Amino acid sequence: MTLELRGVSKVVEGVTHIHPTQLTLEKGTMNVLLGPTLSGKTSLMRLMAGLDVPTTGQVFWQGVDVTGMRVQDRKVAMVYQQFINYPSMTVYDNIASPLRLMGKSKSEIESAVQKAADLMQLTPMLQRKPLELSGGQQQRCALARALVKDAGLVLLDEPLANLDYKLREELRVEIPKIFEEAGSIFVYATTEPEEALLLGGNTAAMWEGQVTQFDLTPKVYRQPVNATTARVFSDPPMNFLKVHKTGDQIIFGDSQIAPAAGPLARLADGSYLAGFRPNHLEITSQSASGIAFEATLIVTELTGSETFVHLDHLGDKWVGLIHGVHDLPLGQPLTVHLDPSHVYIFSEQGDLVAPASYALAA
């Protein structure tokens, strides 16, 4: 069982929503579409489902060209961030509705509904109407209806965004297991890199209607093929700095020097772009090591257990991550350190030419 997109694109009134895309999704896999808002995740899902017809290219399901086939004629389940339920039906009947359409027996329906309701913590609410539920409970009802449908292709468009933290974490683990056991192709859209890492499987990084990389999730994270993918798979986005390779040295923007060791030793002399994630930028402390940079503190963001520090380094805007809560005066000069083994090197055009040493060792 495979879903294959062959050169699929979507253009609406002269505006390209999806650039020509080649993508093959295999049976029993979980595939994450990761990208910011308006990167094309929903548009690509709609083409997969048959809700939209591609401008160019073809969609194949199990080797059969289904381009233009109605979504009603495909075994597809789709759940959006904005839940959709039948308001006049009880929660039980909402969940059972696709099973009745499939002609399942009463006992089969009862068993499937109870199993889905238990997972979604909806059992006490089965006789309520959707409008009597909270927003999170209504979304769980929509998810439960998708669970029982036994679809070959399951598309979830940021489905957990409206749920509380604890339930969201539980479902991130449980839902993929259920669909994978059924042999479905599972596609999950998110804007959160952390969520993609938690879900695992494969990730397609998306930017402005293009799939910039598709591979196993850890590989896309650790070895992004270009600077765009690196930005997508980092929250806050990856920091960048111009560097120059000369002989056995890497010279950073304001004349800091590091040895061109490991993958960097093979680079040709010339100008490049260095990239590093916020969690690899260390604020001065007695244990700090690596290359030192002088920067100015612009803004701090407290998340409860961590502090994001927004910095200005010679006009480059960086973000660093500090564990714990820190009260730092704005405008304060700070010395930050960067371990060269955490630095990715990209060409001036943005293509990866040397992955970080830590990424190769992982």
Distance CA 356, CA 162 (A): 36
DSSP letter at 67 equals T
Residue 287 is predicted with a pLDDT of: 55
Distance CA 90, CA 96 (A): 10
**Positions of the chain with pLDDT lower than 70, given as ranges:** 178-182, 254, 284-289, 360-362
Residue 302 is predicted with a pLDDT of: 85
Give me the sign of the Cα torsion angle 249, 255, 257, 263.
Answer: negative
Residues 269/300, Cβ–Cβ less than 8 Å: no
CA angle 47, 51, 55 (to 5 degrees): 50
pLDDT digits (tens, 9 = 90+) for 282-339: 886 555 668 889 999 999 888 878 889 999 998 999 999 888 887 788 998 888 899 8
Residues 99/92, Cβ–Cβ less than 8 Å: no
Q: Where are the alpha helices (DSSP H) in the chain?
A: 41-49, 91-101, 106-119, 135-148, 165-181, 193-199, 217-222, 227-232, 357-361
DSSP letter at 226 equals B
In sequence order, the 6+-apart residues with CB closer than 8 A to the CB of 296 are 311, 312, 313, 331, 332, 333, 334
Where along the chain do the CATH 2.40.50.140 domains lie? 274-361
Domain spanning 2-231, CATH class: alpha beta
Where along the chain do the CATH 3.40.50.300 domains lie? 2-231
Architecture of domain 274-361: Beta Barrel (2.40)
